[in-house]
Amino acid sequence: MKLTPEQIRQFEEEGYLFLPNVFTIEEMDVLNGAVPGIFAEQRQEVIREKGSTSPRSAFYVQTWNPVYEKLARHPRLLEPGAQLLGSDKLYMHQFKINAKAAFDGAVWQWHQDYATWHQDDDMPNPRAMNIALFLAEANEFNGPLMFIPRSHRKGRLEAGHDVTTTSYPLWTINNETITRLVAEGGIVAPKGPPGSMLLFHGNMVHASSSNLTPWSRWIVYLSLNRCDNAIRRFKRPTWIANHEFTPIETLPDDCLIRDARGRRSAAE
């Protein structure tokens, strides 16, 4: 899947691009069918909300779940990333499913992902980005992602290391800076059905509120980095910040449903 020049221009100007209904209902059934089992796993890669058994994030899923191993190499996700990053030599810096569980999903504070990638992993430049796929509907009530448009143009902002608010530490931006950025750019919250895709710059300032609704908001994130921009510090485990920089090779476009269709045909 290739982005149009207008879509690339919008990404470069605003810092994000939202594309609804990129994946089909059949493909989403395959992906969502695996999610409850993933979050039920008792392993170090599955992070729980602070003081709760509810899942917050499941990391490195592409290495321990066969469905998400395929998604991590899907051309509809990787080809736009290659266009926007200007290289077909990309590796997976981070892969995770964020849960935002019904009633229990906690906040993600205001931050830039590149701030963490730089401070913790010594990623040289912000030549990395996020490709997010909505596994469940994101609406105005269940803690959608909030962006400050054009904030990626400010470069890497000063941040403090918050290790107390939630169960996952972040390099977060103070209220004064957020107030100034919002006065300049406002806030948007892209919302849409399962199968929608959201692309955003590594320096995009973003956050999400808690989820008090009965609707979980599941999103899978591919944090793609150029191989020539690989990290140089390895204090975080590889399941959080990948230490392996082999370029990703894409699979066929129908990789998520090919086997399922074959099994149905054989049964028939």
- Residue 96, SS3 per DSSP: strand
Tens digits of residue pLDDT in 12-51: 999 999 999 999 999 999 999 999 999 999 999 999 999 9
Rounded to whole angstroms, the Cα distance separating 113 from 122 reads 13
**What average pLDDT does the segment 182-200 reach?**
97
pLDDT at 166: 87
Report the residue count for the chain.
Answer: 268
Are 49 and 105 within 8 A, CB to CB?
yes
Residue matched to tokens 């207008």: 6
Rounded to whole angstroms, the Cα distance separating 196 from 125 reads 28
Tens digits of residue pLDDT in 74-101: 999 999 999 999 999 999 999 999 999 9
Are 171 and 119 within 8 A, CB to CB?
yes
Are 68 and 62 within 8 A, CB to CB?
yes
Mean pLDDT of the chain: 94
Residue type, 28: M
- Paired strand residues for 17: 199
**What average pLDDT does the segment 219-238 reach?**
98
Query: What topology does CATH give the domain 5-267?
Result: Jelly Rolls (2.60.120)
Q: Is the pLDDT of residue 171 over 50?
A: yes
Which residues lie below 8 Å from residue 66, measured CB to CB, with a gap of 6+?
none
**What average pLDDT does the segment 228-247 reach?**
97
Q: What are phi and psi of 49, to 5 degrees?
A: -65, 150
Give the E-state strand segments of the chain in sequence order. Answer: 16-19, 46-48, 55-59, 90-98, 108-111, 128-134, 145-147, 160-162, 170-172, 197-201, 206-208, 219-226
Q: Is the pLDDT of residue 268 over 80?
A: no
Q: Which residues of 47-73 are buried (b: 16+ CB within 10 A; e: fewer)?
A: bbbeeeebbbbbbbbbbebebbebbbb
